[in-house]
Amino acid sequence: MNKFSKRSYIIIGLFALVGLIFIIGLFRLQMLDPTYKVFATNNVLREIVQYPARGLIYDRNGNLLVHNKPSYDLMITPREVGVFDTLYLCNLLAIPKEDLEERIEDAKKYSRYKPSIIVKQIAPETYAILQEKIYRFKGFHTQSRTLREYNYPVAAHVLGYVGEVNSSDLENDIYYSLGDYIGVSGIEKTYEEWLRGLKGKKKYLVDVHNRIQGSFLEGKEDSPAKVGNNLVTSIDIELQMYAEQLLQNKRGSVVAIEPSTGELLAIASAPGYHPNLLVGRQRGTNYGLLLTDTLKPLFNRALLSEYPPGSTFKVINALVALEEQSITEHTRFSCAGKGSSPIRCTHDHSSPLDVVTAIKESCNPFLWNTYRSILAKYPTTAEGYNAWRDHVLKFGIGKKLGMDVPVESKGSLPEVSYYDNIYGKGRWRPLTVRSMAIGQGELGVTPVQMANFAAAIANRGYYYTPHVVKEIKNLGIDSQLKERHTVGISAEHFEPVISGMEMSVAMSASGSLIKVPGVVMCGKTGTVQNNQGSDHSVFMAFAPKDNPKIAISVYVENGVWGARYAAPIASLLVEKYLNDSITPNREWVETRMIDANLLNPNQPK
């Protein structure tokens, strides 16, 4: 009996222990473990990301360039989805049934519990209908977004565009989530951190039909979205539109800079495209068409094309020679005309010439002798070349300028090692690299670099880093963009060169094509040799001569010679910017430039 009692107590104790364990377990699950509470809450709670409005973009005169328009995404939480009318939803959203089913499967693979976007960028009209019927689609809900709207059909390369984040973006910045948008190019990319703002969140209670019933905890756990910063650009949109109009049916570029600040007034690349082509649900299709277009409209010629500068570069060579004291402003070199050697002269003029007349007449032999005098001043050609190259680098050529745009080319300014590898160390002479004297050969300059060295000449020896954004609202701009860069040429050496540039315009045989009424413009034409067709037309200038307001470079591919297209286009842009309009007696020049179609091989050049 005692033995039985002892055994029964043990059994009862074991049952009590097991019961206690279950009671503790149930208490923990129901009272302490939040998991089931979360599951229960999730059935009635929806957290919606509040996407901030992206910052607006203005031109220098307050014209709105880029704003936001409403758009909506359809979201899905796979585990909540019930039976629904697939065909009705497909017809409403204008997508194939197979496409919708594939997107639902992709959402399940991503997560059965987390919401993900199933249809992006729904138009407001469609959204209004969808919201009325959303209760019929359990597991689906919408979220509001904004899309960019570009108010002008120009400046696509400058402004850039916005696209969906990729895996690299997600890895590099925890701010972004799958389906978010980010600046992909232009200043949309450079100033992404300021433009994007800060996301917020809102929690809502929903009923069994997935309809919002009200705010969770009266909004105590909500956080508002912070709107992105607005940008004020340096672009003059009227000048930008005029530049792109003058470049229509041509390959080329225009870059205009305000010399006193480095602010870019216009930066056009042709052929271009309407920036709204890369907005909305057709963006992918349009991007594919632009990418395969043989005219390469996506390629920003103003920042990425590297051309020989041609005769425009003679201005720098003259300045370097004056600074190196290998010539003076009174030095004269003879020109044997079209029979000259080793570089033939292409113009008829008096001989011998000094610096002013040589710039005016664009005399190749004078500049060859000038260039040779720099290199010959040093014990070896390599030392002389290095000294010359150091001067050229200070003008921002052969290196990136550090602009506030995502991409720019540094151009081409070969080092001594380049020629040593080709000809052998110590086995090349000034004659070997004579093409550098007239801006040809291995030299490659981008259009923005050319406009920048025009600005440096206009300022008599310094420039500011060219930049597109004038101000981030309430924050200013990067102080580095206000830093003055000196080119290392004494101020007095600029006067004879600028006089030559003034005479080059004022006494040009193409005077009516390039003279700006009431404005003293200093410029230099260039004809760039091209082995694959007609030569390129080049012009760089600044105006007025004193207290300059604009420095400009124009490249027109296959434009034959500088005064034919580049110089007239530049003069029209200078006149438009400084005088606000084109005088009636120059409207024929405007018509000729606009009507010129260099993309049509049958039209005479």
**Tens digit of pLDDT for each residue in 492-518?**
999 999 999 999 999 877 767 899 999
Regarding the domain delimited by 237-595, which CATH topology (the fold level of the hierarchy) does it fall under?
Beta-lactamase (3.40.710)
The chain-wide mean pLDDT, for the chain, equals 88
Task: Give which of 519, 511, 527, 502 is closest to 589, Cα–Cα.
Answer: 511
**Which pLDDT belongs to residue 34?**
53
Choices 3.60.10.10, 3.40.1360.10, 3.20.20.10, 3.90.1310.10: CATH for 46-233: 3.90.1310.10
Tokens describing residue 424: 């052998």
**Is the per-residue pLDDT at 396 higher than 50?**
yes
Let me know: does 552 contact 574? Beta carbons within 8 Å: yes
Tokens describing residue 204: 């809502």
**Tens digit of pLDDT for each residue in 175-223?**
988 878 899 999 999 999 999 999 888 777 766 555 566 666 766 777 8
**Tens digit of pLDDT for each residue in 72-97?**
888 888 888 888 888 888 888 888 98
Let me know: does 70 contact 218? Beta carbons within 8 Å: no
Alpha-carbon separation of residue 25 from 30, 34, 39, 149, 504 (angstroms): 8, 13, 18, 58, 95
**Tens digit of pLDDT for each residue in 118-133?**
888 888 888 888 888 8
Task: Give which of 305, 206, 207, 293 is closest to 255, Cα–Cα.
Answer: 305
Task: Give which of 394, 256, 352, 369 is closest to 314, Cα–Cα.
Answer: 369
Minimum mean pLDDT among 137-146, 162-171, 440-449, 490-499: which range?
Answer: 137-146
Q: Which H helix or E strand runs over 27?
A: helix 2-27
Domain boundaries, the chain: 46-233, 237-595
CA angle 316, 318, 320 (to 5 degrees): 70
